[in-house]
Chain A
Amino acid sequence: MKLKKNSPVERLWNGLFVENPVFVLVLGTCPTLATTTSALNAIGMGLSTTVILALSNLIISALRKVIPERMRMPAYIVVIASFVTMVDFLMEGFTPALYASLGIYIPLIVVNCIIMGRAEAYAGKEPMIPSFFDGLGMGLGFTAAIFCIASIREIIGAGTWFGMQVMPSGYVPVNIFVLAPGAFLVYAFLVAVMNKLKIGAGRRPKKEWDPTEKICGDCLSCMKLGICDEKPESCSETPAQTIARSKGTVAEAIAAPAAEKPAAGAAPSSEKKEATKS
């Protein structure tokens, strides 16, 4: 299927499948693990993230020519934190039960890598309408992915789905799936299944899937966003390109921005290339 680049449909498709934030980009691991104890929690978390993501993308894109290059990160943080505060209050007022079960993970959407990552990689340079749909697509992709994980955890771990009994009455719930280890296990197995599918399709997923061996595609990328002043090109490229560009390990990726710090003013991009090569 060939879609027009940056059209709303292309953006939605991209967020849901091509660059699914949970399964393909492996971003936002914390809420993915923490809020998937039940299908209802996952839907609540997913939709609130979607709203914040779409609106903050819209505003950041609208302000992209006003915000000075160097003040980018604080400005984005303030925009995102404002929307998070609004959603926080709306949820406290209208869905108190859901708000209580999600707890501090609602305000913690501020530090969700997906939002900062999209602001930096997309909304900061593209027009408003595509940015809005980019946020919407990414948010829905996130919602769909955590809904999958949560459904598996709730059905196996409690025998219910949205609180309704779905397993036969003789079924003994495997409690551990609702507890912390279950989150790690289900996520790990789903990613492994995706790897298996990729291997079956004749592609080699190993490099693409290892979040510790690439700069982009895991939360390190957004940590990196916070530290380097230049636009991280690594976030707009495919994982394969990232790997081709830097064969370095995470430790080197961390060391690279630090290495270029002492020589502020000197051409940072060339220095970074050297640092990642070594």
Chain B
Amino acid sequence: MTLLLLAVNACLINNVVLSQFLGICSFLGVSKKPDTAAGMGMALTFVLTLSSLVCGILYHVLLVPLGLEYLKTIVFILIVAALVQFVEMFLKKFAKALYDALGIYLPLITTNCAVLGVALINVQKDYSILTGTVYGFATALGYTIAIIILANIREKMVNNDVPASFRGFPIVMITAALMSIAFFGFSALK
């Protein structure tokens, strides 16, 4: 039950992009078409769940017993980078269909700050390995929901007459601001 609450909190109330500002870059960059956005969301869900699991295991099994907690930033970023490479090779070899669906988005995830952010939040909030993994999955789900909504709005927005100085970046940011206000409504779920 607490896990479910945590998941709802990470997914909707404290949405990763709209209230914590993690992964903004890809949120704005890859949200032009709904299907690309969905692909990015799926790839991130896959990697984020796996990386929070692996980072959690390594932190609790290796870094804490050895007293090397201060190395966590370096270790986590290298794990994420290596994991993305590994997942890509593994999928290419053994799950061709999944690779074709997620393949082009996987490399983009290494520098997505949501992945490193979640690993660090898990340590900061002292989550266990299981809780951390659930938190990672829920966060990624929240990201997917947000990016798909934004992509659909942007698709509709193409036909709108936007003032010249607001075209491009500013109007996307204003859309995100309105979505962010809308997501405040979820805080009633607390």
Query: B56: shortest Cβ distance to chain A, in Å?
Result: 16
Number of A interface residues at 8 Å Cβ cutoff, please give it.
63
Looking at chain B, what size class is its interface with the partner chain?
A: 35 or more
**A33 in the interface (beta carbon within 8 A):** yes
Q: A258: which B residues are within 8 A, CB to CB?
A: 103-104, 107
Are the CB atoms of B104 and A254 closer together than 8 Å? Answer: yes
Are the CB atoms of A254 and B105 closer together than 8 Å? Answer: yes
- Closest partner residue, chain A, to B18 (CB atom): A180
Q: B70: which A residues are within 8 A, CB to CB?
A: 85, 89
Using a CB–CB distance below 8 Å, which chain A residues touch chain B? 26, 29-30, 33-34, 73-74, 77-78, 81-82, 84-85, 88-89, 103-104, 107-108, 110-113, 116, 176, 179-185, 187-189, 191-193, 195-196, 199, 205-206, 209-213, 218-220, 222-223, 225-227, 249-251, 254-255, 257-258
Q: A181: which B residues are within 8 A, CB to CB?
A: 177-178, 180-181, 184
CA distance A116 to B121 in the complex (A): 22
Q: B18: which A residues are within 8 A, CB to CB?
A: 180
Are the CB atoms of A255 and B104 closer together than 8 Å? Answer: yes
Are the CB atoms of B73 and A110 closer together than 8 Å? Answer: yes
CA distance A33 to B172 in the complex (A): 14
Q: A82: which B residues are within 8 A, CB to CB?
A: 74
CA distance A188 to B174 in the complex (A): 6
B 96-120 binary contact with A (CB < 8 Å = 1; else 0): 0000000111011011110011001
CA distance A89 to B107 in the complex (A): 30
Query: B174: shortest Cβ distance to chain A, in Å?
Result: 5
